[in-house]
Structure 1
């Protein structure tokens, strides 16, 4: 394993770091101010469009997509340090570089499983940043940690599929530019193989029978930059059979193919969030005095900062190993490591952010620092893309299998 950055990665890192310093960090406060003046909180603030244009001009666009025909053609190992940098400003940086979920995963699905017409109609405008998309899988009526539980029905009626069901926490669905849903439901609910009951279909947002009912909050945040998280109702929504993604019964496999890269991308960005927290902790520690001496001279603060640095270095190596394995032996070969980082990274970053909040006192929970929002995002990732307990269960069974 060699984790040294190659020449292309070094070049992109340098450009991205400069882009963050010159454009992204200064735009954070500007974006908040502009959002307060919008008629709708879901509209895109002007500074985001300005940054998107600049990112495209600099070639910092679609860096996530390994398919060189459509994206930057980077390996997971090359993309990891770039995603980490973008994670330092997770609301803005991924969005303005067209590397934000759920669009990233949806573009990967269309690249791998979409047909020529689907790619032309939906993938191309997504790659250009002209539209947004949503992935409709999670449901409120069942334990969605087990994807075989989903109850949304996709019934064939002649040349159409009829979709009926209720989804929630559908990321991106509140954004006015969200034009397409990738919907997972059951085409064969009574099939013997529970992992072949599901399929995925493309459902345009303006399809009759599709209702975006309400925005769902996450720890009180609405996540405007990523298009929010919505409850969506499908009431006999009809789409052509040609809107099927892949094959009937292939939905579960497509979901797993989509979620593997998504999980490592989240972990890459989480490391960047932890680095931002350490930076803010150090700035705070040297600038504040309590009980006659700087916080930087307090022993407990030393422990927090030292522990955070050790943790980040450990996590980074595990994520890089996982990226290397995905590149060399594929996602299935890296299954154990993908689960390991999904368990370890959000949990550890939540602890780092918690201490950073503590060090900032009242400021840590306020809107004047990004820590509270970072904390909410990191804590949510202990649930999203499979809760910790599901990954622990699978990982333990894999370990025990060697002894049974």
Structure 2
């Protein structure tokens, strides 16, 4: 996912190791510098790949260690340069990472072409901006799958305690494409003894789709529940602008499929143009074809790690199911009012959706109910939630945003939760 960054890091290692090839320059300091820089790069790669740390802090860390390990740094001029760099880095870090909910508010207000928001309290609209403009949903779409899961449990079609082999889920897992969501969920299952014989309950699979946003669990549930049944939820809830749901993981592989089917080699630009101009219906059909291949464990995609260019990732993000914040106001309101499912499915759905009540003890003190589903790609950051206060006041809040620069994306991700808390406090404390 970060091929060019790894090339730069390798360049750093080679640059610092170069003096070691000369006996005259192979001093203790040179050896220590090479060890320090190499160790810093290995640590940075570990945090980026395994802990999902954003690349920028890791790059800054490597640069600082490189300066500190360089002997020339400890001259008067060098110390001045290091001081300036550290000051700039500290200022940049403060700008990027300090709590700033107003940043999100200003982004939404100043970019109506890129941001929609809808806030309702006790059924009354409080805030509405571009509420009927369709935008990519990313993982927010998993809420619809969660509703159909609750329906099928309630009508007895599926058993929530059915044991699902992890290998069945792994059919739809592509390494390094979900921000570590699926491995993190599996670790959580093991840590809480919810796996046995490498199997988990179907209910935990559904919860992992919502709480951890596992794409592998999502595509497994699409297969398990059936796309036709899932898409019926869209009709039942009268979501007028909601696109049909189709597999997420398989859609990410459309570009690979097209490239493999093409007789001549394609440049990234040529491939991107082909995918961009592909009719959406054909794009979805291709995704379904790939989904069937993954399910049957056929083709070259099984158990492979892939690298998709940012241009192609953007096409994938844009082609994911779209809907409006008004649609998801209906969805969240229906869940909050126990009308989203057939009778008997209400508590099942709440158990899947109300993970914030389990994760944060403070929420249990403030709210009677709190359910949420976020969604993000490199180009989209969305939130959809419902809340009921202990005094019975109900609120739905939907935010769909897109089109960020790299810095905007960092700031939006950093401050979205504090903005959500600010909005909740403003409207539920009145």
Structure-1-length-normalised TM-score: 0.24
Who wins on radius of gyration, i.e. which is larger? Answer: 2
Tell me which of the two structures has the higher relative contact order, counting C-alpha pairs closer than 8 angstroms and 6 or more residues apart.
Answer: 2
Structure-2-length-normalised TM-score: 0.23
Higher helix share: 2
